[in-house]
A and B are shown apart, each in its own frame.
Chain A
């Protein structure tokens, strides 16, 4: 029992519970002149699920980066103990070997390595120092069964969509015998079904005595998985609960305001009837993988999105939604057949540049590898897709106008900190997402495809984004295709909902549909 240790504040250590697996004391992390984590304590016991919540930029990822060696020992202040021994991890590999396994918020999957290799990266099975591919593939198959993911572990990871990538990494982490498992927004891009599987697994892990740290913006998950909850705000631990409190209480702790009820956040906007000529009209679109078998990823899809309308596109991971978006944006490397009208002009865009010129933009799903320009300023990350509109003599960047536009967007989108000249890497995940959304708001926007737009965005900012998207749609008469794995999101935000299952559209629902209807269409249960 470590209960007599002076573990201040944090999560109240619970009497009678198993030994403390992981203890952190007064963790502090400073970047430049800003303190992003300030004197945070934490205790994790065996078989305990500790949820960490907080706004974007609150310091959640930073906290677990310290615990897992991503921020190496020496670059932070405070101490970490595992099993009562000081832990000074110099790298994620070191923490991994000590049984502290983390699945980070931003995944790093190497596209041209195989799925199996990606899953076991640093822990490839082998004999006498040689890589044993058969063993790796066998292990990978076993691990993949968890989520029922039907992919060949020998295929290159490039064939996976971002959410599938997340699933394989999660599967690999669950497969490893961890003592402490840290998951940073694991369910962000997953549908209820996959998230459910994950939560089930976590419960069985808990029984086996694994300590789990769980970061999420989906507060409704907490009831299903968490024992204790800690709330971070501006890098400080502002509240600790030894049971899951009401959502309203959590939200007010997160935002630091008391008068905010959960109802105010889950608003419902009026629907808009479809009228006029569609902004986006798609007929019999099929998308194929660019390989010998030419497997389809999208089959015979037809849909219309009218100006000012938000159409939700719901479905399980791997249903083909992302591929559909990419094909419409001219960013699919394989064969695409079918018809497409964008704001009256006919034909599929040949490349992304053409798509943008015709007024169609796409918010990518995989922020890290397809979205963010690492090391470049927030400002140039935001304006890259509208440089032609912000140029002088068609040659030079019109810097004053660029600055003006960026300041305006940063204001509108609520990017924090509102500094436009720092490298985008210094923003938290959710704030990076806002910058990328800003990038999509080109002049003459007609069709906006959002692929998981609120991935990793906190409750408050999420509402900002919804309002903004609605405003863009209604005021600028933009047709929005909202690809989402979040049932609540499509139910509250979309005027009309399409559900994809195995490459095809299997159902169309109006706003009033129930989550159950959508789920059963998305899992093929209600197939004719």
Chain B
């Protein structure tokens, strides 16, 4: 069969000229979009929010509580993003809670020594990168599975930290450090953020218009523009209320942008997905697996530093139990957000949405006075439901 004939049989872009089929495709795309994971997660979060708002008698959606919610989510969201990256690559990190505790300790230590905010945070991040390097080197040089290495790290970093701090809280830290996550976002930054949302939204809308699937693009363009404008306005309005927006939001967005960019656009990100999908094939395709894994853990190391800073800033001290079970919550958030523990599948956006969903439930149920143990039961159910959905989404993905 010659090439011309083969392309005649299955017209390449014929769908664009073929009106009824294009319409059908557009319709199925709308359905697909409605059923996509992000949409389901967002909808679930919205339903939860409305429910909590209703049941708590309006306490939930106050600006104070919204700000609190954001600040509570921040650490989990940041760590979940890094965790998603590692799980996509086929690795995992059980040490992140302990490592974040350790870097938080470093930050608090230098604060107590009287260092400024930036050098203290810098020291924390450097410490984090060193821990990530240790994890990564042991995993790649000695071919020990990440599960084992980071399980050891889980015990080691906290043990070491407690030893150095003599198991007492280190602090208090300066108000400037606390401001870094807990403070109210300055008005210029609020406007900056609003503009950034607009810019990203515009790109997003135009990308949809340029992309291969042009059917129904005008509608998509309008919808996307409206959504972005609405969010930008919301940001600016809320940012000017007395409580305002917490700085923690900036950390979430920063980490999400960087990691999302890496996964979506960088060569590294592409390799991360492929490596997680089939490690053996990755070798034959010329991917340097060890180097990719090492870089992944270095990035995670930087996240240790950031998460440690955020833990310390939020509590005002580096307390001995900071970051407990953080690794588990982060894994749960990533999985709820659609990251598959089999590797090769997942997204930063999903992980952060997952973190928000978990935090919303935490916050809402606490507001209603639900005891912690009952909260755990509910969260467990959500986690299992999410994984069950995972199988469903995967099958749909394949059939697409």
State whether A351 and B288 are in contact (beta carbons under 8 Å apart), knowing that A414-B1, A423-B400 are contacts in the complex. yes
Residue of B nearest to A458 (CB): B1
Residues of B within 8 A of A266 (CB): none
Q: Nearest Cβ in chain A — how far from B391, in angstroms?
A: 13
Segment of B77-85, B274-282, B373-381 engaged in the interface with chain A: B274-282
Residue of A nearest to B345 (CB): A375
State whether A411 and B10 are in contact (beta carbons under 8 Å apart), knowing that A33-B28, A370-B284, A421-B212 are contacts in the complex. no
State whether A352 and B273 are in contact (beta carbons under 8 Å apart), knowing that A255-B1, A423-B398 are contacts in the complex. no
User: Are A464 and B3 closer than 8 Å at their CB atoms?
Assistant: yes
| A331 at interface by CB-CB < 8 Å | yes
Which interface residue of B1, B2, B7, B28 has the most chain A CB atoms within 10 A? Answer: B1
The CA of A373 and the CA of B274, in the complex, are separated in Å by: 6
Residues of B within 8 A of A374 (CB): 277-278, 344
Residue of B nearest to A426 (CB): B398
**Which of B25, B28, B280, B394 sits near A375, CB closer than 8 Å?**
B394
Q: Nearest Cβ in chain B — how far from A107, in angstroms?
A: 14
Residue of A nearest to B268 (CB): A395
| B266 at interface by CB-CB < 8 Å | yes
User: Are A373 and B344 closer than 8 Å at their CB atoms?
Assistant: yes
| B283 at interface by CB-CB < 8 Å | yes
State whether A388 and B267 are in contact (beta carbons under 8 Å apart), knowing that A375-B397, A418-B12 are contacts in the complex. yes
| B58 at interface by CB-CB < 8 Å | no
- Per-residue contact bits, chain B 109-136, to A (CB 8 Å; 1 contact, 0 not): 0000000000000000000000000000
User: Are B398 and A417 closer than 8 Å at their CB atoms?
Assistant: no
Q: Nearest Cβ in chain A — how far from B308, in angstroms?
A: 27
| A439 at interface by CB-CB < 8 Å | yes
Chain B, interface SS category? helix
The CA of A439 and the CA of B267, in the complex, are separated in Å by: 16
| A364 at interface by CB-CB < 8 Å | yes
User: Are B400 and A422 closer than 8 Å at their CB atoms?
Assistant: yes
User: Are A331 and B285 closer than 8 Å at their CB atoms?
Assistant: no
Residues of A within 8 A of B9 (CB): 416
State whether A380 and B281 are in contact (beta carbons under 8 Å apart), knowing that A355-B286, A464-B1 are contacts in the complex. no
- Per-residue contact bits, chain A 351-392, to B (CB 8 Å; 1 contact, 0 not): 111011000001010000111111110001000110110010
The CA of A55 and the CA of B24, in the complex, are separated in Å by: 28
Residues of A within 8 A of B266 (CB): 395-397
Residues of A within 8 A of B12 (CB): 418
Q: Nearest Cβ in chain B — how far from A476, in angstroms?
A: 18
User: Are B10 and A418 closer than 8 Å at their CB atoms?
Assistant: yes
User: Are A385 and B400 closer than 8 Å at their CB atoms?
Assistant: no
The CA of A373 and the CA of B233, in the complex, are separated in Å by: 42
Residues of A within 8 A of B314 (CB): none
Interface residues of B in 76-103 (CB under 8 A from A): none
Residues of B within 8 A of A464 (CB): 1-3, 6
User: Are A373 and B277 closer than 8 Å at their CB atoms?
Assistant: yes
| B270 at interface by CB-CB < 8 Å | yes
Residues of A within 8 A of B397 (CB): 375, 423
| B287 at interface by CB-CB < 8 Å | yes
Q: How many residues of A contact B (CB 8 A)?
A: 49
**Which of A329, A331, A375, A463 sits near B344, CB closer than 8 Å?**
A375
User: Are B271 and A352 closer than 8 Å at their CB atoms?
Assistant: no
- Per-residue contact bits, chain A 278-303, to B (CB 8 Å; 1 contact, 0 not): 00000000000000000000000000
The CA of A255 and the CA of B28, in the complex, are separated in Å by: 31
The CA of A372 and the CA of B279, in the complex, are separated in Å by: 10
Interface residues of B in 289-318 (CB under 8 A from A): none
**Which of A31, A384, A412 sits near B285, CB closer than 8 Å?**
A384
Residue of B nearest to A376 (CB): B277
| A270 at interface by CB-CB < 8 Å | no
The CA of A397 and the CA of B262, in the complex, are separated in Å by: 10
User: Are A356 and B286 closer than 8 Å at their CB atoms?
Assistant: yes
Residues of A within 8 A of B2 (CB): 464
Residue of B nearest to A55 (CB): B1
State whether A371 and B1 are in contact (beta carbons under 8 Å apart), knowing that A385-B286, A423-B400 are contacts in the complex. no
User: Are B280 and A369 closer than 8 Å at their CB atoms?
Assistant: yes
Residue of A nearest to B397 (CB): A423
**Which of A32, A370, A391 sits near B281, CB closer than 8 Å?**
A370
| A460 at interface by CB-CB < 8 Å | yes
Residue of B nearest to A265 (CB): B1
The CA of A418 and the CA of B266, in the complex, are separated in Å by: 25
Q: Nearest Cβ in chain A — how far from B393, in angstroms?
A: 11
- Per-residue contact bits, chain A 251-269, to B (CB 8 Å; 1 contact, 0 not): 0000101000000000000
Q: Nearest Cβ in chain A — how far from B344, in angstroms?
A: 5
Q: Nearest Cβ in chain B — how far from A414, in angstroms?
A: 4
The CA of A362 and the CA of B284, in the complex, are separated in Å by: 8
State whether A397 and B265 are in contact (beta carbons under 8 Å apart), knowing that A369-B280, A411-B3 are contacts in the complex. yes
Residues of B within 8 A of A425 (CB): 398
**Which of A373, A375, A391, A461 sits near B267, CB closer than 8 Å?**
A391
| B399 at interface by CB-CB < 8 Å | yes
User: Are A352 and B283 closer than 8 Å at their CB atoms?
Assistant: yes
The CA of A426 and the CA of B285, in the complex, are separated in Å by: 20
Q: For the side of the interface on B, what is the size category?
A: 35 or more
**Which of A255, A417, A421 sits near B10, CB closer than 8 Å?**
A417
User: Are B274 and A380 closer than 8 Å at their CB atoms?
Assistant: yes
User: Are B274 and A384 closer than 8 Å at their CB atoms?
Assistant: yes
- Per-residue contact bits, chain B 328-362, to A (CB 8 Å; 1 contact, 0 not): 00000000000000001100000000000000000
Residue of A nearest to B267 (CB): A387
Interface residues of B in 367-400 (CB under 8 A from A): 394, 397-400
User: Are B10 and A416 closer than 8 Å at their CB atoms?
Assistant: yes
Residues of B within 8 A of A352 (CB): 283-286
The CA of A375 and the CA of B396, in the complex, are separated in Å by: 11
Residues of B within 8 A of A55 (CB): 1
**Which of B281, B399, B400 sits near A373, CB closer than 8 Å?**
B281
Residues of A within 8 A of B1 (CB): 55, 255, 414, 460-461, 463-464
Residues of B within 8 A of A423 (CB): 397-398, 400
Interface residues of B in 223-273 (CB under 8 A from A): 265-268, 270-271, 273
Residue of A nearest to B277 (CB): A373
**Which of B6, B265, B274, B284 sits near A376, CB closer than 8 Å?**
B274
- Per-residue contact bits, chain A 436-464, to B (CB 8 Å; 1 contact, 0 not): 00010000000000000000000011011
Interface residues of B in 42-93 (CB under 8 A from A): none
The CA of A364 and the CA of B400, in the complex, are separated in Å by: 27
**Which of A356, A372, A385, A417 sits near B278, CB closer than 8 Å?**
A372
Residue of A nearest to B275 (CB): A373
Residues of B within 8 A of A387 (CB): 267, 270-271
The CA of A351 and the CA of B283, in the complex, are separated in Å by: 8
Which interface residue of B3, B7, B271, B286 has the most chain A CB atoms within 10 A? Answer: B286
Residues of B within 8 A of A375 (CB): 277, 344-345, 394, 397-398
Residues of B within 8 A of A396 (CB): 265-267
Interface residues of A in 392-407 (CB under 8 A from B): 395-397, 399
Which interface residue of B10, B25, B281 has the most chain A CB atoms within 10 A? Answer: B281
Q: Nearest Cβ in chain A — how far from B90, in angstroms?
A: 12
User: Are B281 and A426 closer than 8 Å at their CB atoms?
Assistant: no
Q: Nearest Cβ in chain B — how far from A351, in angstroms?
A: 7
Residue of A nearest to B3 (CB): A414
Residue of B nearest to A333 (CB): B283
- Per-residue contact bits, chain B 1-33, to A (CB 8 Å; 1 contact, 0 not): 111011101101000000000001100100000
The CA of A489 and the CA of B239, in the complex, are separated in Å by: 71
The CA of A372 and the CA of B277, in the complex, are separated in Å by: 9
The CA of A31 and the CA of B288, in the complex, are separated in Å by: 35
The CA of A380 and the CA of B269, in the complex, are separated in Å by: 11
Q: A370-B280, A376-B277 are in contact. List 15 more A-B contacts (CB 8 A).
A: A32-B400, A331-B284, A362-B284, A369-B280, A371-B281, A375-B344, A385-B286, A396-B265, A397-B266, A416-B10, A423-B398, A426-B400, A439-B285, A464-B1, A464-B6
22 contacts between A and B (CB under 8 A): A352-B284, A364-B281, A370-B280, A371-B281, A371-B284, A373-B285, A375-B394, A376-B344, A380-B274, A384-B274, A384-B285, A385-B286, A387-B270, A391-B267, A396-B266, A396-B267, A411-B3, A416-B10, A418-B7, A421-B212, A426-B400, A439-B285
